[in-house]
Amino acid sequence: MTHELHQYGGEAHTGRPARAVWPAMLKGMKCRCPKCGEGKLFKSYAKSVDSCAVCGEEIHHHRADDLPAYLVIFIVGHIVVGAFMGVERLYPMSNWAHLSIWVPITIIMSFALLPSAKGAVIGLQWALYMHGFGGDDEEIDTHPEQDHHS
């Protein structure tokens, strides 16, 4: 049984030029094309465009999936819990008062950060030639044990 080793970002062995990761992620965080930084990355709230209207780079390959939401939960959770604990220490309030403050703040922050987090993940995938951004169609992975039973 042999397994292929996939190394994302190991462009020295492919002959493809290395792409700068942080600039691509920053462009994505600004909801702009990770390649040119000019075209819009989203056609609606968090629905990505199929390709950049400015440079033509195909964006539909991305597989951002759940990672942006996990990142937003991590960031917002740390901010809100820290702020809640600080406010509770300085100004003791009822549970209802806390709920009326922190639930809306959590929801607003989450919705505000989600497109930027998704853009950063798309930028990361573009910079590392992941999920079709390298010009290669991806093969569907199968379980190694199922390959031998066919």
Answer whether 19's CB lies under 8 Å from 12's CB. no
Answer whether residue 124 shows pLDDT above 80. Answer: yes
* pLDDT of the residue at 1: 55
137 has pLDDT over 80 = no
Q: pLDDT tens digit string along 19-34?
A: 999 999 999 999 999 9
Q: Indicate the burial class of 29 (C-beta count within 10 angstroms; 0-12, 13-18, 19 or more).
A: buried
The runs of H, that is alpha helices, within 64-143 are 67-90, 95-127
Tokens of 91: 């100004």
Reported as a pLDDT band with limits 50, 70 and 90, residue 5 is: low
Whether the predicted pLDDT of 114 surpasses 60:
yes
pLDDT in tens, 50-91: 999 999 999 998 999 999 999 999 999 999 999 999 999 999
